[in-house]
């Protein structure tokens, strides 16, 4: 089955920012587009706004003047819902209220033909619940575009409980024909992206709430060590704290207050205080004129150790051994199996974050997971009050000798990047086990929807079969609330043989 024929009129109901974006996508793809809004005159204003954006595309040589003129000729501001009668697809982008959406689609069923595909762009409501008010829910599907719709490639195609396969396929192929990258998923709270992305925000906020590090340091570690484009604090300031918190609460409630999705009290207080981020001038950071930029904690220069003793291969951090040698620091090999760590001249140990705390051991400094230790420009170290200052200084000097800025944080089990990635990997495995989406679509969704440097399964393959499970299991022992309890799916993955699952780690 293919998508809609270009001769088929498409309707978008709701002329706000998202509705305008979806209308522009369909318009540029070659469809006749009817844009409707319940507020008189708003559809006409939105059509003019789309025309202005198309003009800018022409100025930037991304669209020819002829194509712009042809597109504008296909755009109609529909003042009445009855003007949508001959449309073969209607996409809704109105207020995120179940009753409002249900009423709209009940009215649409009385207007459009039986072969018209009905779609909602909801990001937080159940597609199944919206369709529950319809006489023919089989033709109803979720088409979740990401804002701004003309620029972001991802579209989540969501099948509700009653959605017919032919309807989902038709919607999927239409999104692809419009130049988007569709992913198929079941109707689950948060769909793919908003479900699996929760730990990115939650773990950063948790480290802050326990006074492990301040926002600027956490953001810098996520960017410069983890490879994320933005840190959690600056990203939620950009999104809007009220918007991000609303999505978090929606997913948490939909999962019957599952502790894995518990909202942040610190973020709630931020919203209550009116500090909503960039749009209000204050959020986690101060955006008012003349405000000083918050800088991450960066350790003072320290002397690099003359040598390190390598016990084991350091697992996901094994490339550090080559970097240490290249920096002119001797690496002595200890062939006995003592684990996976570096021993410093002071006798202290340096180990990759594993979900344990420094205070449990005599003299251990942990370092965080990096996307690429060679390219990383910052490394976080974690130590307790009992850690020898000499050991911490040697660990700091070692990474500085590799050309890295060093941020020393509190004794945080799993640190920042490691616990975040482990939880994202866990939720991804859990989603596949519950039939939400395929591994491939989840990886695509997280890379394109929130610009992650790797998809969860790409990261899982790189880190090894048991890495995420072992880290979360250790975290769960130290915080038995259930927040870090590994899913059954991750447990099975960790203990499955390579022969049984092939190379899909």
Give the DSSP per-residue string, 294-314. P----PPP-PPPSEEEEES--
What does each of the 505 residues of the chain score in pLDDT, given as a tens digit?
577 888 889 999 999 999 999 999 999 999 999 999 999 999 999 999 999 999 999 999 999 999 999 999 999 999 999 999 999 999 999 999 999 999 999 999 999 999 999 999 999 899 999 999 999 999 999 999 999 999 999 999 999 999 999 999 999 999 999 999 999 999 999 999 999 999 999 999 999 999 999 999 999 999 999 999 999 999 999 999 999 999 999 999 999 999 999 999 999 999 999 999 999 999 999 999 999 999 999 999 999 999 999 998 899 999 999 999 999 999 998 877 667 899 999 999 999 999 999 999 989 999 999 999 999 999 999 999 999 999 999 999 999 999 999 999 999 999 999 999 999 999 999 999 999 999 999 999 999 999 999 999 999 999 999 999 999 999 999 999 999 999 999 999 999 865 444 444 4
Find the farthest-apart pair of alpha carbons in the chain and give their distance in angstroms, rounded: 79
Partners of residue 192 on adjacent β-strands: none
Tokens of 418: 């490691």
How high is the pLDDT of residue 502? 47
Active-site annotation holds for 297: no
Active-site annotation holds for 451: no
Direct distance between the N- and C-terminal alpha carbons of the chain, in angstroms, rounded to an integer: 33
The contacts of residue 488 (CB under 8 Å, 6+ apart) are 430, 433
Q: Is the bond preceding residue 271 a cis peptide, omega within 30 degrees?
A: no
d(CA 261, CA 348): 37
Among residues 31, 92, 121, 156, which one is catalytic?
Answer: 156
Among residues 123, 126, 244, 460, which one is catalytic?
Answer: 123
SS3 356: coil
Active-site annotation holds for 123: yes
Among residues 31, 36, 124, 144, which one is catalytic?
Answer: 144
Q: Give the CA dihedral 18, 24, 25, 28, nearest 10 degrees.
A: 180
How high is the pLDDT of residue 435? 97
How high is the pLDDT of residue 337? 63
Q: CA-based angle 65:67:72, to the nearest 5?
A: 95
Among residues 194, 244, 250, 358, which one is catalytic?
Answer: 194
User: Do residues 368 and 221 make contact, with C-beta atoms less than 8 angstroms apart?
Assistant: yes
d(CA 230, CA 204): 12
DSSP-derived pairing of the beta strands 341-343 and 349-352: antiparallel
How high is the pLDDT of residue 504? 47
DSSP-derived pairing of the beta strands 364-367 and 378-382: antiparallel
Please give the backbone phi and psi of residue 462, each rounded to the nearest 5 degrees, phi first.
-70, -40
SS3 129: helix
Q: What is the pTM of this model?
A: 0.94
How high is the pLDDT of residue 362? 86
Beta strands in 204-312 (DSSP E): 307-311
d(CA 152, CA 148): 6
Partners of residue 378 on adjacent β-strands: 405
How high is the pLDDT of residue 4? 83
How high is the pLDDT of residue 8? 87
Tokens of 6: 């270009």
């Amino acid at each position: 089955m293919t998508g809609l024929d270009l001769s088929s009129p498409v309707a978008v109901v709701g002329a706000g920012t998202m509705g305008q974006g979806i209308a522009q996508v369909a318009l540029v793809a070659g469809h006749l587009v009817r844009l409707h809004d319940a507020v008189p005159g708003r559809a006409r204003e939105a059509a003019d706004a789309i025309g202005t954006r198309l003009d800018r595309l022409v100025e930037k040589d991304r669209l020819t003047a002829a194509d712009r003129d042809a597109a504008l000729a296909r755009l109609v501001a529909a003042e009445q819902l009855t003007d949508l009668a001959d449309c073969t697809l209607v996409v809704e982008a109105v207020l995120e209220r179940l009753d409002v959406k249900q009423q709209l689609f009940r009215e649409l069923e009385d207007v459009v033909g039986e072969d018209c595909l009905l779609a909602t762009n909801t990001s937080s409501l159940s597609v199944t619940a919206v369709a529950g008010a319809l006489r023919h829910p089989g033709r109803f599907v979720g088409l979740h575009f990401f804002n701004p719709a003309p620029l972001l490639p991802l579209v989540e195609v969501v099948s509700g409980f009653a959605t017919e396969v032919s309807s989902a396929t038709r919607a999927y192929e239409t999104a692809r024909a419009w130049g988007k990258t569709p992913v198929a998923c079941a109707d689950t709270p948060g769909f793919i992206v908003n479900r699996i992305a929760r730990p990115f925000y939650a773990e950063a906020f948790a480290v802050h709430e326990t006074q492990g590090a301040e926002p600027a340091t956490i953001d810098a570690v996520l960017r410069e060590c983890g490879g994320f484009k933005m840190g959690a604090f600056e990203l939620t300031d950009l999104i809007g704290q009220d918007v991000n918190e609303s999505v978090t609460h929606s997913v948490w409630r939909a999962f019957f207050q599952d502790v894995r999705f518990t909202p942040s009290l610190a973020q709630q207080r931020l919203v209550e205080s009116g500090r909503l981020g960039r749009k209000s001038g204050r959020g986690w950071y101060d955006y008012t004129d003349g405000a000083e930029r918050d800088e991450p904690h960066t350790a003072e220069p320290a002397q690099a150790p003359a040598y390190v003793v390598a016990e084991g291969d350091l697992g996901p951090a094994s490339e550090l051994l080559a970097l240490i040698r290249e920096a002119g620091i001797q690496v002595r090999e200890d062939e006995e199996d003592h684990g996976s760590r570096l021993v410093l001249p002071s006798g202290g140990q340096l180990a990759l974050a594993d979900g344990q705390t420094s205070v449990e051991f005599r003299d251990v400094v942990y370092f965080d997971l990096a996307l690429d230790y060679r390219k990383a420009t910052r490394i976080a170290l974690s130590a307790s009050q009992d850690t020898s200052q000499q050991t911490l200084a040697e660990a700091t000097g070692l990474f500085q000798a590799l050309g890295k800025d060093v941020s020393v944080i509190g004794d945080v089990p799993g640190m920042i990047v490691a616990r975040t990635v482990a939880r994202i990997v866990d939720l991804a495995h859990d989603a596949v086990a519950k039939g939400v989406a395929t591994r491939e679509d989840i990886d695509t969704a997280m890379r394109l929807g929130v610009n992650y440097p790797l998809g969860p399964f790409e990261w899982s393959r790189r880190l090894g079969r048991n890495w995420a499970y072992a880290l979360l299991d250790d975290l769960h022992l130290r915080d038995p609330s259930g927040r870090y309890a590994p899913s059954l799916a991750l447990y099975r993955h960790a203990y499955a043989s390579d022969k049984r699952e092939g190379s899909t780690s």
